[in-house]
Amino acid sequence: MSNDIHIAVIGLGAMGLPMATRLSGAFIVTACEPDAARRDTAKDNGIATESTPASASKDADVVLLAVRDQAQVEAALFGPDGVLASLKAGAPVILTSTVGPDPVRALGERLARAGFALVDAPVSGGPARAETGDLLIVVGAETDPLDTTRPVLERLASTLTVVGTRPGDGQAFKTVNQLLAGIHIAAAAEAIALARSLQLDPSVVIAALPNIESSLHFSPTSLSWVQSAYTLSFVSKSRKNRTESRKISVTVPARRGLIARAPSAYYPR
């Protein structure tokens, strides 16, 4: 794939804008965003913008979706002004959003019937890492569309791991990863609560823990979540992951405790 590939980035939110900015340094990028202020920000970064997915995708070789949820994914692809109204036949669609394995498997089947391949590639790492190409991306996709989109994914990722050949496999692995992350955050929160009860300065403890050999699993990221007192977005993801576990009859007791206790801030401000 040469760097003259044309990528349509659909969604310029917290992750979409830095990903579009990163990609524009190597490829031709046209972005879609309904919000005029965000389009102006993208234009300031040298990115061409359109107000509908169809207009952004009409010359695209690859589409990258960076939207919030399943409803936005379906509207962006199949709506009256959606991607499929103009996308050239056979062009692959990359989904970077986290919406769950079952919806993505159904989405992959629907796209396949229309003649398009889905590359399931949920991302982790946050906006700052997106802008520098330091994301963690797990992929579920067949070989051909993965080969076609690999240069795009590698532009965004410092760690790119193929976990399966089916759309939905990336989402499934992301569920596993979120479970592990949640347990680490809960453990970090308990440790900070203990430090407070022992009259230690929490800010000193948070700064020191990642540098202590026995505490290396307390990453700066997990500790930052503790400081934010369990933000609602992570609790929402925890509940979503519990739902996925129930679908396959897997019990995750640590996650159940995490969700139950999350609303009472582990680390009061």
Residues 6+ apart with CB under 8 A from 64: 7, 8, 9, 10, 19, 23, 93, 94, 96, 152
CA angle 170–67–219, rounded 5-degree value:
60
The dihedral over CA atoms of 138, 144, 150, 151, expressed in degrees to the nearest 10, equals -170
- Beta-strand pair 62-65/6-10: parallel
Kindly list the distances between the CA atom of residue 196 and the CA atoms of 201, 222, 227, in Å, as whole numbers in the listed order. Answer: 7, 18, 13
Question: Which entry of 43, 58, 174, 247 is annotated as an active-site residue?
Answer: 174
3-class DSSP assignment, residue 257: helix
Asked if 161 and 138 count as a contact pair (C-beta separation under 8 A), the reply is yes
Residues 6+ apart with CB under 8 A from 49: 12, 30, 31, 32, 33, 39, 42, 43, 56
Tokens of 83: 């991607």
**58 among known catalytic residues:** no
Q: Which helix (H) or strand (E) holds 219?
A: none
The one-letter amino acid code at 97 reads S
Helices 169-197 and 232-247, axial angle in degrees (round to 10):
130
Which residues are tagged catalytic? Answer: 174
